[in-house]
Amino acid sequence: MKIALLGYGKMGKMIEGIALDRNHEIVLKIDENNVDELTIENLQKADVAIEFSTPHTVLNNIYKCIEAKVPLVVGTTGWYGHLQEIKDACIAADTSVMYGSNFSVGVNIFFQISKMAAKMMNNFSDQYDVCMEEIHHIHKLDSPSGTAITIAEDILDEFKDKKQWVDVNSGNADDVTLHKPENLTINSFREGEVPGTHVVLYDSDVDRIELKHIAHGRQGFALGAVLAAEWLPGKTGFFSVKEMYDFKV
């Protein structure tokens, strides 16, 4: 395939390497130094675009791809408040967009495990409380991570005693308010160059259950994005990465 890369930082460069290893061609690379080259004409030279930029530039990039009718894989997070309007624009243009907080195969398996655990633990909510932790590198702009939010929303769908997730480190509430029984707390840490660690904790008086995913590097994210770019062309619609994996368990 011919691929356009929107965002050419560490992730963009890693995606490029994996794509080339899989015999694809990179026909456009956009970063902060050449945004003027993000044109409809240039985008239409590609079979698919992969977007890993920043929360500040992602919406413009998405709309450009929709206008160009180029299938788009979006790995940037921090824009999900605009999901419905992007979905509407995508469908109106009869093109395709796939978004996801994390494209890693391992993380998508972890999503499913966490959701199944929450469904089972819902039967024992009088004994177990649940909370979350996530750790990322100090350069990560959003907090909690998009991956953590996805895990949290899956838990909320199944664990009925929890009504909303709250960011422990937001500074927007006192300790008593944060730790209300109906709140699913997420403790976010930014340390060194940690690629990403996510932990779900179920705690009771007698034991603790921990579900943990540790990324050893960004390779899993990058490979997953390329796999998504291979899956998307030829399809029309607004997709979550979960639809690509669609595990039957």
Q: So which residues are the catalytic ones?
A: 136, 140
Task: Report the interhelical angle of 105-121 vs 146-158 (nearest 10°).
Answer: 30
Count the alpha carbons within 13 Å of 18 in the hemisphere toward its beta carbon: 21
Tokens 């945004």 appear where? 35
Q: How far apart are CA 200 and CA 102, in angstroms?
A: 16
Count the alpha carbons within 13 Å of 229 in the hemisphere toward its beta carbon: 34
Amino acid letter at 33? N
Do the Cβ atoms of 25 and 2 come closer than 8 Å?
yes
Q: How far apart are CA 37 and CA 126, in angstroms?
A: 57
Q: How far apart are CA 176 and CA 85, in angstroms?
A: 36
Q: How far apart are CA 139 and CA 126, in angstroms?
A: 39
Q: How far apart are CA 179 and CA 203, in angstroms?
A: 14
Could you tell me the two tokens for 52? 């890993």
